[in-house]
Structure 1
Amino acid sequence: MTTIDLVRLEDTAFGKLDAEGRLLNAVLKEPMPAAGRFGFRGDIALKFQEAVADEKRPPEYAIEQVLAVADTVTGTIPVLAGYLHSFAYLKDAAEVLAPYLAPTGTYVFFVNNIDFLKKYRVPLSAEVSATVLPLDESTVWKETLELVSIDKNDVKKLSGAGKLQKVIDQLAAFSDRYEDLTYDEGVARMEPVRNRNANRPV
């Protein structure tokens, strides 16, 4: 891929989210090895705090630890994995991402407050569904590697974009047969949000 062919952030769905101030804490935000693709690792803000005296404040909550890629041809985000501190935030995630979700896409949300033994398939819209999995003290990166059976040593020597590309490719091919659950059913079943720092050493 030549410099002329490089995908620009503003030409992707991420560009629109970035213009809204939603792309935060980026670990990676660059063109991918695959043509027409742009990768992002970081957070996507869902609900903003009210600004005080023009002070820029962190979002009230976000999709955290996002692993995602945008496609310039379709204008969509065909693959995304991320962490939600509460199942209730899934509705906001669906609304914020709605213009960029593809019916054939793969969307995985690791959630703090669902039963550790449960795994669900939850509709985000009439055409798009997401896999919802439990997560407590691990990370989206580690859990996603395990989910798609990638050994961390297999990506160790790759560039940041190369690592994300390999994981995204595997995640795109991921399929599941988890329990179907509606958003309202999930809210009714969700547990209290666990303190992420409770068991960490001081």
Structure 2
Amino acid sequence: MTETLAHKEIDDTAFARLEHEGRLLNPVLKGLTNKFGRVGFRGELALRFAPKLADEARPPELTCNQVMACATIGHKYLAFFAGYLLSFEHLKDVAEVLSDTLSAGGKYFLFCNNIDLSERYQVPYKGAMFYALPILESTVYNEMLELLYLEKNELKKKDSGGKLDAVADAAIKFDETFDTITYSEGLELMGPVRNPNENRPV
């Protein structure tokens, strides 16, 4: 697929603004998946940019890592989003950056490094419901497979788009409920932020 074609497809999805703001970084996948009309992204989402010095492009100050997300061409909301955060407090940054791409019916999962390993929460924010979960399986991809009861070996044969489709399809149907807490309550419950270089998910 040509770069222009990929951009044309992204421009007609919920990714358009994020792409134009330069927030979709280090993509492993950015473009059409194997499902008709679906555009997927796997990479990093820039949450906070560093001040620009002259023409020097500096890395963002804050990112949501290991992002898996998908949108449908012609629709303005993200159907599915999952990512890794060092701290629960950055849920607010994710919600504010995604803002107009969030919907009450979307499925949004954030794996946070400072949530008690035995807890899982639902956090309403910006008119959307976020699942705030601890990270146990080292990567968001593995966490999603575990959460959605997907068999890793069955997905191995699929390409990047196929893997994302399988996770997104299962995530969109996900209907388990956890304790609902407010963002403020989550801030009080979260643990200290760990050293990002210690046992860092790769």
Name the TM-score, length of structure 2 as normaliser.
0.91
Distance between the aligned counterparts of 1:22 and 1:39, measured in 2? 14
Contact 2:48 2:63 in 1 (8 A): yes
How far off is 1:13 after superposition?
A: 1.8
Q: Percent identity?
A: 46
Q: Within 2, Cα distance between the matches of 1:139 and 1:199?
A: 11
Corresponding residue number in structure 1 for 2:41: 40
1-side partners of 2:74 and 2:12: how far apart? 10
Query: Any conservation in 2 of the 1:88–1:187 contact (CA below 8 Å)?
Result: yes
How far, CA to CA, are the matches of 2:47 and 2:199 in structure 1? 27
Match of 1:163 in 2: 163
Residue by residue over 1:74-110, the C-alpha shift from the partner in whole angstroms, topping out at 9 and shown as x without a partner, is 2111111111111111111111111111211100000
CA contact (8 A) 2:67 2:84 kept: yes
User: Residue 12 of structure 2 contacts residue 74 of structure 2 at CA under 8 Å; is this kept in 1?
Assistant: no
CA contact (8 A) 1:86 1:193 kept: yes
For the residues of structure 2 that align with 1:45 and 1:191, how far apart are their CA atoms? 23
Distance in structure 2 (CA, Å) of the matches to 1:186 and 1:166: 30
Matching residue's letter, 1:25 = N
Partner residue of 1:143? 143
Corresponding residue of 1:73: 74
Q: Counterpart amino acid of 1:13?
A: A
| Partner of residue 181, structure 2 | 181
Q: C-alpha displacement at 1:198, in angstroms? A: 2.3
The answer as to whether partners of 1:137 and 1:196 remain within 8 angstroms in 2 is: no
Q: Would the aligned equivalents of 1:136 and 1:196 in 2 still touch at CA under 8 Å?
A: no
Residue correspondence of structure 1 range 20-169 to structure 2 within 5 A: 20-125=21-126, 127-135=127-135, 138-169=138-169
Cα displacement (A) at 1:37 = 1.1
The AA in structure 2 aligned to 1:109 is L
Secondary structure, counterpart of 1:187 in structure 2: helix
* 2: CA distance, partners of 1:198 / 1:63: 17
Say how many residue pairs are matched: 195
CA contact (8 A) 2:102 2:128 kept: yes
- In structure 2, the gaps of 5 or more residues are none
Paired AA for residue 74 in structure 1 = H
Pick closer, same or farther for the CA change 1:78–1:137 going to 2, 3 Å.
Answer: closer
- Structure 1 residue 24 displacement after superposition: 0.4
d(CA) in 2 for partners of 1:199, 1:43: 19
**Under a length normalisation based on structure 1, what TM-score does the superposition of the two structures give?**
0.91
RMSD: 1.7
Residues 152 and 18 from structure 1, CA distance in 2 versus in 1: closer, same or farther, beyond 3 angstroms? same
